[in-house]
Structure 1
Amino acid sequence: MSPGLFLLFIIGYFVLLLTVSYLTGRKADMQAYFTGNRNSVWYVVAIGLIADSLSGVTYISVPGKVGTASFAYLQVALGYVAGYIAIAVILLPLFYNRNLTSIYTYLRQRFGPATQKVGALFFMLSRLTGSAARLYVVAGVLQLFVFEHYRVPFVLTVSLMIGLMLLYTYRGGIKTLVWTDALQSALLLAAVCVTIRAICDGLQWSLGEAVEKVAGGPYAQVFFWDWKAANFFPKDFFGGMMIAVTMTGLDQNMMQKNLSCRTLGEAKKNLYSFSLIQLAVHVLLLGMGALLYEYMRAFGIAGPVDAVTGALLTDQVFPSLALHHLGAFAAVAFVTGLTAATFSSADSVLTTLTTSFYIDILGHASEDMDGSKRRLRNTIHTGWGIALLLTILLFKALNRSALIDTVLLLASLTYGPMLGLFAFGIFSKRSIPDKASILVCLASPALCYWLRQQSGSLWGGYRFGNELLLVNGFFTYAGLWFFSLGKKERPFKN
């Protein structure tokens, strides 16, 4: 497919988003920006969360990893379902009953302003670096297949992407994002279905035959029981559960949309529905991954390998086949899905980082309506866009693919303290010195990082997987409990 057609597609894609932004945001006020006027339709939010929960990295990595890990990731996805149910039962009532806009306001009410800022800063660090990593991946793909042809420098490519995101989010905020995310989720699902259809056509299989071949094929194993391995079922399941609780329930980026639903009951229906939808989407992604490897085997296509080690580069399997082997329609579908998955998670970050900084760090109320507060909000929104650009350019300067793994590790380390803080606040009535949370939330990730680096030699080859998040949360909880010794219990109603 020619770079010119790719460029026309990208332009059309953003014209569509800008149109939706104009229609939803032309009468938006401050409450529309922060909470969508608490009038979002629950099933639209549920659909939008699909693309928001899947990054471009996940879209590429989950199908590719089937070649080395089979359907093991489904263990994690099953844990997600349990995690979303826990959010609906425990966290949503907690946040709705307090009419919160930023969920970290709860930490202020429970412990004090220093703890609120600690929780918000951990969120900001994780979301900024994580979103920058995801955008770096998709920007690299677009640069290689489109903008390099026109000799557009990488910095201009990224600047245009972020500029467009600022343009369609700065006015409507959450009110706009609920609808643009739903649109991008629909495009993502369409892209996966088109790719599966293209593979089946190439193999001359019906959809029924494809399901039968995948279910009886070499990649169909779902559950793994080697307790030392990172993909041991209980580790993946409970790790996935805690990932859902922390990266959705304790993450302003995900919860701000949930809190925009009209009632607590509708917000719960949204999460219950989304838990099942995301499971089905992961099954589709894994099934597509198995079909990709069947296609490679049927046509004798050598998978992309590392030039030094000769190891299979699983993250390049899907892009390589979609862009070079499955035809123009599948190539367009791939870019559509990648763009939708990446931009849905990245564009909302600009709004939610702005919300958290405005409320948690500066201490303003979301109800502030005067012109100076609106200008301040817009300045913060633009500032986060610039910060996102600079972080991506830093990744480009370092130019190491392993940096993505480092960023994902950073995410697991930063969400652990939030898990411990909220768990201690909800399940304990003890009080702590407000500033003690700073020390605990710095010490716990540092200890977990050391354990992860040393685990192979300390415990006979045992390797930490997703359960490291649980360990991190436990250390944070224990540290807070230690500082609570000798303190009187505070009367606080959860």
Structure 2
Amino acid sequence: MQTIDLLVIVAYLVATAWLGLKLSGRQTGLKGYFLGGRDLPWWAVCLSIVATETSALTVIGIPVMSYLGDISYLQLGLGYILGRIVIAFFMLPRYYDGEMLTAYAYLGKRFGSSTQMTAGVTFLFTRLLADGIRVLAAAIPLKVILEGLGVDLGYFAITVILAVVTIAYTFIGGITAVVWVDVIQMMLYVVGGIAAILVVASTTGLGWLGDAADAGKLQLFVIGESQLSGENSFLASLLGGAVFAMASHGSDQIIVQRLLACRSKVEAQKAIIVSGLVVVVQFAIFLLVGLALWGYYRQATPQDLGLTRDDEIFPLFIVEALPPGLSGLLLAGILAAAMSTLSSSLSALSSSTVTDVVGKLRKEPITDAQGLRIGRWATICWGLAFIAPATIFRSDEGNIVVLALGVAGITYGGLLGAFLFGIINKRARALDANIAFVVAVAVNAFFFVMEKYVVGEVWVAWQWYPLLGVIVTFVVGGLLSLRHPDRIEQAQEETAGSSTR
């Protein structure tokens, strides 16, 4: 690591923040701040979705999967595409039915304020935990960089710095700044991944591909292991991945906010479907990076290389093996990509705070000026709050991608279940949906806590969490809804009664 790399990192971070603010302009209203005036092109939203859902987790986490295992993680991408198609034609039309600022406004329209608030508050705390882990993912390469320069700040100090810097441009520019910065960052770190592969190929040749094939690391489909507890099994990846995508991209405000910022429903549908194809390509690139690193380091374990976390393997290669300047640019891309995810979360969290919580607690409607002021204060508060979970999870030794997805999956099933339950079950009332939602979250939380902190083994793979939550929501909510008459039958009875009178 040389001084030029550090200068490149600083220059890039300053330039992306400035460009994001320059492209966004100063926002003066809620629709502009949270939805970019509904005037963002579909391709920019598409790339922003990909950058947000993967970011630093993809860059440093996915290469570890093929480095230590194989490329079977790519199965998940097939499920993601399937889930996105369902979102495009089944869920998106309902979000565009009216001037909705958040995904949970639909639940408010269907069940009332209590359900909208329940979903909104749950989203706030789940996103806080999951993206606190993403802040940790950004801190990992930065810690490797600073240690190479003889500086040891520690993870806590690094997460504080990242949070404060990201708050700045999100506070001013809103979702428009976030989306345009996402586009630039995604292009950079994908090009950086390809550059890493080319550097290894020019140094060692392509013999590592043959060695990887002989070692079984090119296995794509995993059929033999348990389809329930096997985290890499084909069924869990395809079906579980499809439901996971429906939950994460159809009921999570961080993605839905982008889709609502498109110019039309058709453009939003195009953005969500194409993003699935882009994700598969991106997964393939970084899984190939992991195989290249496996060949470069001659099959050594991360511990053999003196690393404290498996996720540090790619940052180590960037610092040690890439040419000066290129290593700084790629590390800057990793940091900026992680910050883009954080800024996306801040924008989504502040919009949900204003619309789904504060707006429902107030007796009078929130004006644009009031909402903008509350949203900006919420941006600051949530940005600082990310520091806590990043500090809590830094001692976790598991793969950081699986950890983040597992935490998010705890509530995804309940959120998706509530949406589908409201659409399909016409008898259901707000209390039915609220109780079913809470029970679904509790069931998934039980399996997560048992795996991570009690028994230490997987009972239910994280890919199944959303589907399990949907099933629990439908069963519990369906049983509770039997107390009420069918709305169509009730309307017919009321009509018959009025005609008799």
- Regarding TM over 0.5, the answer is yes
Deviates more, 1:234-243 or 1:209-218: 209-218
- Separation of aligned partners in 1, 2:322 and 2:236: 36
The aligned residue for residue 176 of structure 1 is 177
The aligned residue for residue 79 of structure 1 is 79
Stretches of structure 2 that go unaligned for 5 or more consecutive residues are: 491-501
Q: Output one character per residue of 1:200-237: Cα deviation in whole Å (capped at 9) or x when no partner.
A: 111234xxx88788678732110111251332211111
- Separation of aligned partners in 2, 1:333 and 1:61: 19
The aligned residue for residue 493 of structure 2 is none
The secondary structure found in structure 2 opposite 1:23 is: helix
> Does residue 1:25 correspond to 2:24, yes or no?
yes
- Separation of aligned partners in 2, 1:151 and 1:76: 37
The aligned residue for residue 478 of structure 1 is 475
Stretches of structure 1 that go unaligned for 5 or more consecutive residues are: none
The aligned residue for residue 14 of structure 1 is 13
Alignment of 1:70-219 (within 5 A): 70-146=70-146, 149-150=150-151, 155-205=156-206, 218-219=216-217
Q: CA deviation at 1:171?
A: 2.2
Deviates more, 1:330-339 or 1:14-23: 330-339
> Does residue 1:384 correspond to 2:382, yes or no?
yes
The alignment's C-alpha RMSD in Å is 3.2
Over 3 Å counting, the alpha-carbon distance change for 1:490 and 1:386 in structure 2 is farther
User: CA contact under 8 A between 1:195 and 1:330: conserved in structure 2?
Assistant: no
Alignment of 1:227-238 (within 5 A): 227-228=225-226, 229-238=230-239
User: CA contact under 8 A between 2:27 and 2:33: conserved in structure 1?
Assistant: yes
> Does residue 1:276 correspond to 2:249, yes or no?
no
- Separation of aligned partners in 2, 1:372 and 1:359: 12
Q: Output one character per residue of 1:255-298: Cα deviation in whole Å (capped at 9) or x when no partner.
A: 1111111111111111222121111111111122222212223x
The residue identity in structure 2 corresponding to 1:159 is V
Q: Output one character per residue of 1:92-111: Cα deviation in whole Å (capped at 9) or x when no partner.
A: 11101233111101111111
- Separation of aligned partners in 1, 2:448 and 2:156: 35
The secondary structure found in structure 1 opposite 2:386 is: helix
Over 3 Å counting, the alpha-carbon distance change for 1:333 and 1:203 in structure 2 is farther
The aligned residue for residue 495 of structure 2 is none
The aligned residue for residue 409 of structure 1 is 406
Q: Output one character per residue of 1:408-430: Cα deviation in whole Å (capped at 9) or x when no partner.
A: 43321111111210110122212
Over 3 Å counting, the alpha-carbon distance change for 1:286 and 1:395 in structure 2 is closer
- Separation of aligned partners in 2, 1:216 and 1:91: 44
- Separation of aligned partners in 2, 1:296 and 1:415: 38
The aligned residue for residue 498 of structure 2 is none
- Separation of aligned partners in 1, 2:403 and 2:183: 30
The secondary structure found in structure 2 opposite 1:171 is: helix
Q: CA deviation at 1:55?
A: 3.5
Over 3 Å counting, the alpha-carbon distance change for 1:161 and 1:448 in structure 2 is closer
User: CA contact under 8 A between 2:257 and 2:348: conserved in structure 1?
Assistant: yes
Find 2:334's aligned residue among 327, 332, 338.
338
The residue identity in structure 1 corresponding to 2:172 is R
User: CA contact under 8 A between 1:417 and 1:476: conserved in structure 2?
Assistant: yes
> Does residue 1:266 correspond to 2:262, yes or no?
no
- Separation of aligned partners in 2, 1:252 and 1:463: 26
User: CA contact under 8 A between 2:70 and 2:218: conserved in structure 1?
Assistant: yes
Over 3 Å counting, the alpha-carbon distance change for 1:469 and 1:320 in structure 2 is same
The residue identity in structure 2 corresponding to 1:477 is F
TM-score (norm 2): 0.86
The aligned residue for residue 245 of structure 1 is 246
TM-score (norm 1): 0.87
User: CA contact under 8 A between 1:250 and 1:419: conserved in structure 2?
Assistant: yes
Q: CA deviation at 1:20?
A: 1.4
User: CA contact under 8 A between 1:420 and 1:473: conserved in structure 2?
Assistant: yes
User: CA contact under 8 A between 1:132 and 1:392: conserved in structure 2?
Assistant: yes
- Separation of aligned partners in 1, 2:346 and 2:446: 32
- Separation of aligned partners in 2, 1:259 and 1:195: 36
The aligned residue for residue 218 of structure 2 is 220
